[in-house]
Amino acid sequence: MNPRVYEFLKELERQGVVNDAAQTDRQAKMLNITEDTGRFLAILVQSTQAKAILEIGTSNGYSTIWLAEAAQVTGGHVTTVELLAAKVEMARRNIAQAGLAAYVTIHTMDAAAYLAATDSAVSQFIFLDAKRSEYCSLWEDISRILKPGGLLVVDNAVSHRQELSQFQAMIEANPQYQTVLVPVGKGELVVFKNGVPA
């Protein structure tokens, strides 16, 4: 990783911790992934040579920068979706400051609306870190959008395991998918869609 980008990520991490400790409103919190989760995502993107990367839940762009750094290596692009306009503006500034704006497209909209309007089998890698109560209703479109041979990674799979239990059960009931729970950060559910990448 570019040392300048890494130093910027460390500063964003620090700011996020300070902000979240002071906020009581969940929407005002950054709720960033951990550094080891960022590294894990970057390694997965690079090792799979993913080019079409989708992130659901941008927040301030911390995780997006990890994905975009990896996309720069693979010749890929990150599309990220965030409902809150204030967070989108923050993310735009942070991604630009990291020098990665050319590798990211941000959509300010509801995840369900974005997914419903997206073509089938277009994403090689999806990172899901949004409102957990909506995941079950999003699953049909996520499944449709993810390419065969692609990966879905779901954050908070250990820290909020009970909240994600129904969603995980839905995935595991489908023979088209293989899953593994990885104890990195707050726990990452890694989902592989069977099939040969197109």
Number of Cβ within a 10 Å radius of residue 38:
24
For residue 119, the model assigns a pLDDT of: 96
98, exposed or middle or buried, with CB in 10 Å at 0-12, 13-18, 19+? buried
For residue 198, the model assigns a pLDDT of: 61
110 φ, ψ (degrees, to nearest 5): -70, 135
> What domains lie within the chain, and their CATH numbers?
3-193 (3.40.50.150)
* Structural tokens at position 178: 């293989």
Residues of the chain predicted below pLDDT 50: none
Give tens-digit pLDDT for 110-141: 999 999 999 999 999 999 999 999 999 999 99
The amino acid sitting at 16 is: G
Q: Is the pTM of this model over 0.85?
A: yes
Q: How far apart are CA 40 and CA 52, in angstroms?
A: 17
First vs last C-alpha separation in the chain: 28
* Structural tokens at position 131: 């409102």
Q: How far apart are CA 83 and CA 151, in angstroms?
A: 23
For residue 195, the model assigns a pLDDT of: 87
